[in-house]
Amino acid sequence: MDFAFDSVTEDLRERLLRFMDECVYPAEEAFEEQAATSGWGSPPLMADLKEEARKRGLWNLFLPGDHGAGLTNLQYAPLAEIMGRSPSIAPTATNCAAPDTGNMEVLAGFGSEWQRKEWLRPLLDGEIRSAFAMTEPDVASSDATNISTQIIKDGAEYVINGRKWFISGAMNPNCKILIVMGKSNPDAPKHRQQSMVLVPRDTPGLHIKRGMHVFGYSDADHGGHAEVVFEDVRVPADNLIGEEGGGFAIAQARLGPGRIHHCMRMIGMAERAIELMCRRAIARTAFGKTIAEQGVVQDWIAESRVRVEQLRLLVLKTAWLMDTVGNKGAHTEIQAIKIATPKTVEWILDKAIQVHGAGGVSQDFPLAGLWAGVRSLRFADGPDEVHKRSLAHRELKKWM
């Protein structure tokens, strides 16, 4: 047992931290200003940051294997945390932003040679963006077998009909491709009914209806969260990813690393929040002493530190399990971090907001926006309650 990072990780951490200090944090203010007028796409300064990150070798760090940086989950995890400290900029700048990351993993792992050339290549180069269309308004998203969008084979084509929402990134005009999950084989066994197909965003019948809000935020600089309607959308049969009925399995494979990335980025947000909370508490005076001298605020700071230290270790261990025993062996831990992380980080952000008073809920600090994103992860990929139930079943089985 050893709690020190290896040298590859240490080296990349150092370079990434330097990139944050030299390029990312200094760009935050301008980013917000540009974002206010740049519609559904990335603010223009992002292009330079991407070029700079790539030049520094901080590119596609998330992707194992030959297509990317080739890091293990455990090596990438602490880098995701650092990116999470400036989550609107750093992940995109380093081409490590969801949902492209998961989509690239899917294409690298399950895509045909043609699919990889056509779609993985420009994604790896950061030239286009993509979306992942799974969640539906009419069914509980915790139960993936519920999905009702139809993907019907018709000769050499698939015909897609259905309604999706909260499809992150799909409002971005630079989003060129969607991976769509739907039901292709309704008579197959429960977990073999789904397929995934690639649908270019400009395919006729694909309607981007509106951007869904998250606590008032449109998240325009991330391409929003679209409601998308598929009306007799036709794509060539070659657009099927993997095999028919393989959609559920691909979705599962996509989940594990995604959870680790999400959780580590949230830990980065928590660290940023602690920093902001401390700085504000030191700077602000009320009733004759600084807020930092108030016992209750000290309690929040200490609790934040105590909770985030525990949480980070669990996420790192999960990454290690993914690397050593795989998705299945890490099942309990992958659920555990999904349950623990949003709740813990939400708590910390709430306290940081409270220390900032009215400013904390406003556009003048990043806290309220981070909070809204983190809170919505308490039900993304299924609400925490579903995951707890499943985790409890496994625990109970040990004693049956």
Binding residues for its own copies restricted to 11-70, rule: CB under 8 A: none
Q: Which of 252, 302, 326, 329 binds its own copies (CB under 8 A)?
A: 302
For position 149 contacting its own copies by CB under 8 A, the verdict is no
Between 206 and 337, name the residue whose CB sits nearer to its own copies: 337
- By CB neighbour count within 10 A (0-12 exposed, 13-18 middle, 19+ buried), where does 393 fall? exposed
Q: What angle do helix axes 384-397 and 331-356 make, rounded to 10 degrees? A: 140
Q: Which of 298, 326, 328, 329 binds its own copies (CB under 8 A)?
A: 298
Q: Which residues contact 251 (CB under 8 A, 6 or more apart)?
A: 134, 144, 181, 194, 196
SS3 assignment, position 180: strand
Stretch that binds its own copies, among 90-98, 173-181, 236-244, 316-324 (CB under 8 A): 316-324
Between 2 and 187, name the residue whose CB sits nearer to its own copies: 2
Q: Which of 51, 114, 148, 363 binds its own copies (CB under 8 A)?
A: 363
The residues in 116-145 that bind its own copies, with binding defined as CB under 8 A, are 135, 137, 140-143
Q: Do the Cβ atoms of 341 and 349 come closer than 8 Å?
A: no
Angle at 344 between CA 340 and CA 349, to 5 degrees: 150
Stretch that binds its own copies, among 230-238, 241-249, 250-258, 311-319 (CB under 8 A): 311-319
Closest approach of its own copies to the CB of residue 127, in Å: 30
Closest approach of its own copies to the CB of residue 52, in Å: 27
Q: Do the Cβ atoms of 281 and 351 come closer than 8 Å?
A: no
Between 27 and 391, name the residue whose CB sits nearer to its own copies: 391
What is the residue whose two structure tokens read 């200090």?
21
Helix (H) or strand (E) segment spanning residue 206: strand 206-211
Q: Do the Cβ atoms of 265 and 78 come closer than 8 Å?
A: no
Q: Which of 15, 278, 327, 331 binds its own copies (CB under 8 A)?
A: 278
For position 182 contacting its own copies by CB under 8 A, the verdict is no
For position 336 contacting its own copies by CB under 8 A, the verdict is yes
Helix (H) or strand (E) segment spanning residue 272: helix 247-283
For position 331 contacting its own copies by CB under 8 A, the verdict is no
Closest approach of its own copies to the CB of residue 191, in Å: 14
- By CB neighbour count within 10 A (0-12 exposed, 13-18 middle, 19+ buried), where does 2 fall? exposed
Between 35 and 53, name the residue whose CB sits nearer to its own copies: 35
Pairing of strands 225-236, 206-211: antiparallel
For position 10 contacting its own copies by CB under 8 A, the verdict is no
- By CB neighbour count within 10 A (0-12 exposed, 13-18 middle, 19+ buried), where does 156 fall? exposed
Closest approach of its own copies to the CB of residue 120, in Å: 28
SS3 assignment, position 352: helix
Number of residues lying near its own copies (CB under 8 A): 94
Closest approach of its own copies to the CB of residue 19, in Å: 21
Closest approach of its own copies to the CB of residue 39, in Å: 16
Between 142 and 203, name the residue whose CB sits nearer to its own copies: 142
Between 138 and 243, name the residue whose CB sits nearer to its own copies: 138
For position 391 contacting its own copies by CB under 8 A, the verdict is yes
Q: How far apart are CA 380 and CA 377, in angstroms?
A: 5
Closest approach of its own copies to the CB of residue 364, in Å: 8
SS3 assignment, position 53: helix
- Alpha carbons within 13 angstroms on the beta-carbon side of residue 317 total 15
Closest approach of its own copies to the CB of residue 305, in Å: 5
Closest approach of its own copies to the CB of residue 267, in Å: 12
The residues in 218-277 that bind its own copies, with binding defined as CB under 8 A, are 218, 274-275
